Amino acid sequence: MQKIILSKSQKKILLEHTLKEEPNESCAILYGNKIEEKNIVKEIWLTENIDSSPTEFTLSPEQTWEMDQKRKELNLEIIGIFHSHPKGEAYPSNTDKKFMENNPYVWIIYSGINKNFRAFIFNLDSVEIPIQEK
C-alpha cells in the first residue's frame, strides 16, 4: 500500500497558502522521492490557480513548464499535487478524477469545511492512501 510522508511544517505551508487563496481553490506541486511504496515530500512549490475559482484549478502553461524545470533543478521527482476544496469535502471530484488518471501522482486535497488533508491515488477509481507525518 502506498503512503505519503508529509511533515507538520509542510502541512502548515499548505494550510497558510490555502487560507491566503480562499475563497478560491489553491494548488501546489510536491517534489520528493519515492522509495518503494513511500512517497516522501521534500519540497513544496506553491502555484497560482489561474482560474481563480472556488471549484476548479488550473496551472498556466508557464507554470507547467516551470514545474518541470524545478524538478530538474531540485533533482527530485514530482510526487504529488495538492489542491484545496474551500467549500467541499477532501474527496476528488469527477473532474479531479479525470486529471488524476492523466497525472499519476499522489493527490492531496484539503477540505476547508472539515479542516483535514486526505491523499489519493488513481487506480481504476480514486483510492485513499494514508498521510504519515514522519
Site size with Zn ion, rule: CB under 5 A: 2
CB of 79 to Zn ion, least distance (A): 18
Closer residue to Zn ion in complex, CB, 76/108: 108
CB of 53 to Zn ion, least distance (A): 10
Closer residue to Zn ion in complex, CB, 40/78: 78
Instruction: List the interface residues with Zn ion, window 96-115 (CB under 5 A).
Output: 96
Closer residue to Zn ion in complex, CB, 95/123: 95
- Alpha-carbon distance of 20 to 16, in angstroms, equals 6
CB of 83 to Zn ion, least distance (A): 5
What is the binding site for Zn ion (CB under 5 A)?
93, 96
